[in-house]
Structure 1
Amino acid sequence: MKHRMMHSHNLREALPDYARKMAVPLEELEAAYQWMLDNEVCFETRIKDRTLSFICYLNIEPRIENPLARRFYKLLSSETLGALIPLYGINWPTLRDRMLRTWEQAYNILICKIPSHTLRLLWLRIGGAKIGKGSTVWRNTEVLGVDSLRIGNDTTVGWHCQLDARGGLVIGDHVTIASHVLIIAGGHD
């Protein structure tokens, strides 16, 4: 299974701009990008007249052998809405991720059922969600990827919804989401 997160459309066409931004020759960046495609660091999927460009959802930066490909992956990952999943092992990013997922599960199992908007929003905000003024998340709404959730001002998320923000999810201002809605962000095989 290839874990991937959407980056942009037609990334290959934007390589000249990235070459200027990174101060490297275009030919070298094209070769590094091809290496990334060949080694499952980046992925492309053609749909009609567009090419969807994805990057690996796991933070594999330390494992990328090609130095220019490593720099380019770091730049691309900084431009995505969602946070990358850390490589597993005994390290701070893995511990932080485990603690955040435990926080998230406590919300989904217990806190989301408490009839207090203030407490539910506080729990989500402490977990890393950015929630605007006047917004509400109704009871029994589950959130996955709390730290990658962005909700604008005066927005309402109805009862019994599921927000999968692991790939980054932005809900704008003055939006109403009906009850029993599933919103999934990110790429899947």
Structure 2
Amino acid sequence: MLKEPSPQQHELEMVSLESLVPDNHLLRKIDQYIDFEFIRDRVRHLYCSNNGRPALDPVVLFKMLFLGYLFGIRSERQLVREIQVNVAYRWFLRFNLTDKIPDASTLSQNRRRRFQDSSIYQEIFDEIVLQAMGYDLVGGEVLYTDSTHLKANANKNKYDLKQAEEKVAAYLDSLEDAIEGDRKAQGKKPLKTKLS
């Protein structure tokens, strides 16, 4: 007899995010060794202590950008969509399954306004790399790979070995380009650039 599926989307289940993220997941390894709490003190001078509405926790903000950089997500809107559905990302950011994920505009406005005229991105990135080097997770050398499969018409015994380097600023620029492209596609005016 063929069993009919029962609707399970509305059933309550007792589950923890801790049990849903595999033990060998990359984000578990990063979380085990890298302490992101230094970010709060590093950016404190960029926040007003007694005025305005409560801001998004800067640790969460930078961890979100870290996820985008780490997993090659080149759009803040796409990053927010990925965080909404990826349990490992939610676990890494300390969001519960029912927590609302910050809007993409919150990410971009903080990135464009609050941190634009500072070197804070590079400082935070450097500190994360230093922590990773302290645990021998990275060696301090730059390694980039491209997994595109192309049949090459080349001599395998003759080649030049070159290192290419991409800075954090390049990732932030690509986010900016994605925002401008999205605005143009929707017929909106470009965002004003901040004057120094």
TM range (shorter): under 0.3
Q: Which has the higher contact order (CA 8 A, sep 6+)?
A: 2
State the TM-score, normalizing by the size of structure 2.
0.25
TM-score normalised over the length of structure 1: 0.25
Q: More strand by proportion, 1 or 2?
A: 1
Tell me which protein shows more helix as a share of its residues.
Answer: 2
Rg larger in structure: 2
